[in-house]
């Protein structure tokens, strides 16, 4: 096959040779080099409309927007089929699925042999991080999915612009993706091609490669996202002395015009996107979004920790998003959006659970079937998604694409805990904050588990995304301050918006009122707000509760540090830490021992 090559923008022989090798392996009918243009976006969309993969929405209601319905077997990330193929099992650690790299590569070569017959191979050069940033990294994904190519245009900096900073370098992450469903001559295609029976997502951190087969959905197929920006990037960050984290980044400005930037790590279903785009319920305060999901951080020459958002768009969960919970997200979705697995209204717009208080009387659900409220089934899949450019967000921070990044003053760790964890508390030191981050968790309910208080720990919200041994990852966190002085590092905090009263109701209103917590954190980083020392850290003596209807009793419970509950928490942490064996840093064992000592003395 004569392989087209954008010679007018690059002469990178390593890139051409790599693509040529994948063409020979996958045997597509044609090759398209993505240039990232608006015309290309329309071409890809039209191609998928014709194949039935997407359908256009009403242009008067949702201009230049589309709706995709995936195969019901291909609706979310598949952690059980996701592997870290490091040289040794110990390098992957106890939190990852490990496979031998040689055996896995042999298996993959068999799967990919001829896998793109009857299809087009799209070559997508992309950059994670602002193009001219020191921390930015480049990847190239080859894929036979136009849905992936179009989505990558919305979520990353991609196309010909990326080839300029790449130059002649061989230093790019090689990403190979296929739907795994070749077409014989004359064979009819399906609207959402995939191959769930052969699905595998394999990461080779030592050689900076990612191979994905059989899925066309989200984090399984958009290899720039969790696969590169977290799993492989975490290994790169360890080797190069920076941090790749599952964190939002927000800018917060007080009424006097002083601005700071915070990062925050929350497990799923803990309000990360809502916090990143918050509309504060405090007069004069403003929150702006730098990123809602991933942060890359590096200590710069001035000794401060700076962060960039490696992504360029949002791939967010739709259900639960509304003008009440996240008006900025709703504002982002007015046009130029690809929705996946939401419902369609008779007028040609979209709907999902939580979008409106009242359910529509009739919809076409995410499976393409007629739907009414009386049917008892969800109209949108619980993991339904929207994909849109970050620049469309009405509260996007002016520095969201700044190659210098933004200086981080505070890092927040939070989980969904109905008890034990107070609304907010401050770590005593970077090591203590690392200890807090390594132990964050969400609790199950009795209905789900048969036992109240069963917890699932998700250290730094990175449990599914750390590409190497998590004990060594903790050690990397502890090493970061060595390149600067403690006074220049961010202050670390734990937060918990989800504490419940005895009747099961939430004690804290959350959403825009979380700005009251951010205000206290803002002032603590300036050494201004008062705090009370407790065995677990410092808690506020008071928050700004102006015009907020929360009783004194509820506030007391929100801030309570119950010694008996925390003794049980410490015992649970000690058991959890055994997973990491000798890889657990001694500093974290010491922090746990100190917590036990303070609890015994209280």
- Evaluated on CA atoms 144, 145, 146, 151, the torsion sign reads negative
Judged against a pLDDT cut of 90, whether residue 180 lies above it is answered with: yes
Q: Phi, psi (5° rounding) for residue 441?
A: -155, 165
> How far apart (Å, rounded) are the C-alpha atoms in residues 56 and 68?
9
Same domain, 339 and 302: no
pLDDT value of residue 5: 87
pLDDT value of residue 3: 86
pLDDT value of residue 446: 37
Q: Is 270 a catalytic residue?
A: yes
Same domain, 279 and 297: yes
Which one of 392, 422, 456 terminates a domain?
Answer: 392
Residue 79 is classified by DSSP as G
Strands across the sheet containing 343-344: 350-351, 343-344, 363-364, 370-371
Q: Where residue 354 sits, what CATH number does that domain have?
A: 2.170.8.10
Judged against a pLDDT cut of 90, whether residue 4 lies above it is answered with: no
Question: Which of 534, 518, 525 is CA-nearest to residue 436?
Answer: 534
- With respect to residue 426, please indicate whether it lies within any of the assigned structural domains: yes
pLDDT value of residue 2: 81
- Looking at the chain, the number of H-run helices and the number of E-run strands are 17, 30
- With respect to residue 445, please indicate whether it lies within any of the assigned structural domains: yes
Which one of 373, 392, 411 terminates a domain?
Answer: 392
What number is the average pLDDT over the span 11-20?
Answer: 96
User: How would residue 443 be classed by pLDDT, with cut points 50, 70 and 90?
Assistant: confident
Same domain, 147 and 223: yes
Q: Where residue 443 sits, what CATH number does that domain have?
A: 3.90.228.20
Judged against a pLDDT cut of 70, whether residue 239 lies above it is answered with: yes
pLDDT value of residue 496: 97
What number is the average pLDDT over the span 386-408?
Answer: 97
- With respect to residue 502, please indicate whether it lies within any of the assigned structural domains: yes
- With respect to residue 181, please indicate whether it lies within any of the assigned structural domains: yes
pLDDT value of residue 600: 97
Same domain, 347 and 222: no
Same domain, 472 and 386: no
- 542-599 tens-digit pLDDT: 999 999 999 999 999 999 999 999 999 999 999 999 999 999 999 999 999 999 999 9
450 or 258: which leads in pLDDT: 258
pLDDT value of residue 250: 98
Judged against a pLDDT cut of 70, whether residue 445 lies above it is answered with: no
Please calculate the CA angle 310-481-468 and round it to the nearest 5 degrees.
Answer: 55
What number is the average pLDDT over the span 229-236?
Answer: 98
Judged against a pLDDT cut of 90, whether residue 320 lies above it is answered with: yes
User: How would residue 80 be classed by pLDDT, with cut points 50, 70 and 90?
Assistant: very high
> How far apart (Å, rounded) are the C-alpha atoms in residues 169 and 287?
39
Judged against a pLDDT cut of 80, whether residue 490 lies above it is answered with: yes
User: How would residue 221 be classed by pLDDT, with cut points 50, 70 and 90?
Assistant: very high
CA distances from 472 to 134, 479, 490, 584 (A): 25, 10, 21, 7
pLDDT value of residue 269: 78
- With respect to residue 99, please indicate whether it lies within any of the assigned structural domains: yes
pLDDT value of residue 450: 42
Same domain, 127 and 216: yes
Same domain, 90 and 231: yes
Residue 35 structural domain: 13-52+77-240
Q: Where residue 98 sits, what CATH number does that domain have?
A: 3.40.449.10
pLDDT value of residue 448: 37
Same domain, 156 and 256: no
Output the average pLDDT for the chain: 95
Same domain, 331 and 186: no
User: How would residue 449 be classed by pLDDT, with cut points 50, 70 and 90?
Assistant: very low
Q: What percent of the chain shows pLDDT beyond 70? A: 98
| Phi and psi based region of residue 78 (left: phi greater than 0; alpha: psi -120 to 50; beta: remaining) | beta
289 or 165: which leads in pLDDT: 289
- With respect to residue 8, please indicate whether it lies within any of the assigned structural domains: no
Same domain, 172 and 272: no
User: Which are the contacts of 509, defined by CB distance < 8 A and separation ≥ 6?
Assistant: 548, 550
Which one of 392, 422, 437 terminates a domain?
Answer: 392
Selecting among 34, 158, 175, 270, the annotated active-site residue is 270
Q: Domain tally for the chain?
A: 3
pLDDT value of residue 268: 82
Cβ atoms of 226 and 422 within 8 Å: the answer is no
Same domain, 272 and 144: no
Same domain, 121 and 253: no
What number is the average pLDDT over the span 430-457?
Answer: 75
Judged against a pLDDT cut of 50, whether residue 447 lies above it is answered with: no
- With respect to residue 5, please indicate whether it lies within any of the assigned structural domains: no
- 103-142 tens-digit pLDDT: 999 999 999 999 999 999 999 999 999 998 999 999 999 9
- With respect to residue 295, please indicate whether it lies within any of the assigned structural domains: yes
Judged against a pLDDT cut of 70, whether residue 444 lies above it is answered with: no
User: How would residue 161 be classed by pLDDT, with cut points 50, 70 and 90?
Assistant: very high
């Amino acid at each position: 096959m004569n392989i087209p090559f954008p010679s007018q923008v690059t002469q990178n022989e390593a890139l051409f040779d790599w693509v040529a090798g994948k063409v020979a392996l996958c045997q597509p009918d044609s090759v398209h080099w993505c240039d990232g243009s608006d015309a290309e976006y329309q071409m890809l969309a039209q191609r998928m409309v014709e194949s039935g993969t997407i359908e256009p929405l009403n242009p008067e209601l949702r201009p230049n927007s589309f709706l995709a319905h995936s195969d019901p077997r291909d609706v979310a990330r598949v952690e059980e089929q996701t592997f870290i193929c490091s040289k040794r099992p110990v390098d992957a650690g106890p939190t990852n699925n490990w496979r031998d790299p040689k055996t896995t590569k042999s298996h993959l070569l068999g799967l990919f042999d001829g896998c793109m017959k009857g299809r087009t191979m799209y070559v997508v050069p992309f950059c994670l991080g602002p193009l001219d940033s020191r921390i930015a990294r480049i990847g190239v994904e080859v894929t036979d999915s136009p849905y992936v190519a179009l989505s990558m245009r919305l979520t990353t900096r991609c196309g010909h612009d990326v080839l300029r900073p790449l130059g002649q370098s061989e230093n790019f992450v090689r990403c190979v993706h296929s739907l795994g469903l070749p077409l014989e001559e004359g064979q009819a295609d399906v609207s959402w091609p995939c191959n769930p029976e052969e699905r595998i997502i394999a990461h080779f951190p030592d050689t900076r490669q990612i191979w994905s087969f059989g899925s066309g959905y989200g984090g399984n197929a958009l290899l720039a996202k969790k696969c590169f920006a977290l799993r492989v990037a975490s290994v790169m960050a360890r080797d190069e002395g920076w941090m790749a984290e599952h964190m939002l980044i927000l800018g917060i400005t007080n009424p006097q015009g002083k601005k700071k930037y915070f990062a925050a790590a929350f497990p799923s279903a803990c309000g990360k996107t809502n916090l990143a785009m918050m509309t504060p319920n405090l007069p004069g305060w403003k929150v702006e979004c730098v990123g809602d999901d991933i942060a890359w951080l590096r200590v710069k020459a001035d000794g401060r920790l700076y962060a960039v958002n490696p992504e360029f768009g949002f791939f967010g969960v739709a259900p639960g998003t509304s003008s009440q919970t996240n008006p900025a997200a709703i504002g982002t979705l007015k046009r130029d959006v690809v929705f996946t697995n939401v419902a369609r209204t008779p007028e040609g717009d979209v709907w999902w659970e939580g979008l409106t208080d009242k359910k529509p009387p009739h919809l076409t659900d995410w499976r393409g079937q007629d739907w009414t409220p009386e049917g008892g089934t969800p109209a949108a899949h619980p993991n339904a998604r929207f994909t849109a450019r970050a620049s469309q967000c009405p509260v996007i921070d002016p520095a969201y694409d700044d190659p210098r990044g933004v200086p981080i003053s505070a890092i927040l760790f939070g989980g969904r805990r109905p008890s034990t964890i107070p609304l907010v508390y401050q770590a005593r030191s970077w090591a203590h904050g690392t200890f807090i981050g390594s132990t964050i968790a969400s609790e199950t309910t009795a209905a789900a588990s048969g036992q109240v208080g069963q917890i699932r720990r998700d250290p730094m919200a990175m449990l599914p995304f750390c590409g190497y041994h998590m004990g060594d990852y903790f050690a990397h966190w502890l090493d970061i301050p060595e390149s600067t002085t403690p006074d220049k590092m961010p202050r670390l905090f734990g937060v918990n918006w989800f504490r419940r009263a005895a009747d099961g109701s939430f004690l804290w209103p959350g959403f825009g009122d979380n700005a009251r917590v951010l205000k206290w954190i803002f002032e603590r980083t300036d050494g201004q707000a008062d705090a009370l020392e407790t065995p677990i850290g410092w808690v506020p003596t008071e928050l700004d509760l102006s015009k907020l209807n929360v009783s004194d009793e509820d506030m007391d419970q929100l801030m309570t540090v119950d010694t008996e509950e925390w003794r049980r928490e410490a015992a649970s942490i000690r058991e959890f830490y055994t997973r990491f064996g000798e890889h657990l840093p001694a500093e974290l064992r010491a922090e746990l021992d100190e917590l036990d000592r303070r609890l015994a003395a209280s």
